Amino acid sequence: MKSHTAYMTFNTSKRREYINITQNVSEELQKSNINEGMALVSAMHITAGVYVNDAESGFQEDMDNMLEEIAPFGPNYSHHRTGEDNGDAHLKSIVMGNQVVLPITAGKLDLGPWQQIYYAEFDGRRPKRLIIKIIGD
3 vs 30 by CB, closer to its own copies:
3
- For its own copies, which residue of 12, 43, 119, 121 counts as binding (CB under 8 A)? 43
Q: Where are the alpha helices (DSSP H) in 9-125?
A: 22-32, 57-70, 87-96
- For its own copies, which residue of 24, 52, 73, 85 counts as binding (CB under 8 A)? 52
- Does 27 participate in binding its own copies (rule CB under 8 A)? no
**Contact between residue 8 and residue 121 where contact means Cβ atoms under 8 Å apart:** no
28: β partners: none
Applying CB under 8 A, the span of 8-16, 23-31, 110-118 interacting with its own copies comes to 110-118
- Does 36 participate in binding its own copies (rule CB under 8 A)? yes
How deeply is 49 buried, as exposed, middle or buried, from its count of CB atoms within 10 A (0-12, 13-18, 19+)? buried
- Does 101 participate in binding its own copies (rule CB under 8 A)? yes
- CB-based contacts of 78: which residues, under 8 Å, 6+ apart? 87
- For its own copies, which residue of 9, 13, 14, 58 counts as binding (CB under 8 A)? 58
Q: How far is CA 43 from the centre of its chain?
A: 6
User: Which of 51, 29, 43 lies closest to 115 in space, CA to CA?
Assistant: 51
- Does 40 participate in binding its own copies (rule CB under 8 A)? yes
Sites of contact with its own copies (CB under 8 A): 1, 3, 5, 36-38, 40, 42-46, 51-54, 56-59, 61-63, 66, 70-71, 77-82, 87, 90-91, 93-105, 110-112, 114-115, 129, 131, 133, 135-137
